[in-house]
Amino acid sequence: AGAVVTAPIRTFRIRPEKHGHLSIRVEIFQNKADLQAASKRENKAHGLRMGTPRKLIGQCVGVTDRRRGRKTGLFAVLRFPRQHLTMSTLTHEAFHATMRWAERKRITAVPTGPPSNSYHVATVEERCAEVQGEICRRLVVELMRAKLLPD
């Protein structure tokens, strides 16, 4: 008998920019074991021989999906088990998604330093901060809509 394939209990998409085409698919699993099984299946499907950490309570998978030779708007998949939908886990994984967004936007480094140093430093930092905030906001809105977070 093969392993039972457990699908996410809820899946939705969020867009980190109001008028952008880029999106993140969010998958919520019933429990940590189901998330870990999904991660293990994906690693195996892509020929990766890496194990899935037992402490895995959230995951951001970068995506380069191509159809007809062009990249699609999907750039990341966020996965969470239902019992770990905490602000700490959500913001941690949203940060990884923000880095995937920056990569897709060809932002190869976020310059650091006082914002007064240059307009470029402030602009890049602000774009990343806005996207991070919007990913977190939309995650919470969708999770509340699905009644997966308390009001």
Tens of pLDDT, residues 69-109: 667 899 999 999 999 999 999 999 999 999 999 998 988 77
Spell out the long-range contacts of 142-151 with Cβ–Cβ below 8 A and sequence spacing 24 or more.
142/12, 142/14, 142/26, 143/28, 143/85, 146/10, 146/12, 146/28, 148/10, 148/28, 148/82, 148/85, 149/85
What pTM did the predictor assign? 0.84
**pLDDT per residue as tens digits for the range 9-33:** 999 999 999 888 999 999 999 999 9
Share of the chain above pLDDT 70, in %: 77
Going by C-beta distance under 8 Å and a sequence separation of 6 or more, which residues neighbour residue 42? 61
CA quadruple 10, 15, 16, 22: dihedral sign: positive
**pLDDT per residue as tens digits for the range 98-115:** 999 999 898 877 766 665
Listed residue (149, 151, 148) closest to 9, CA to CA: 148
Binning pLDDT at 50, 70 and 90, where does residue 1 land? very low
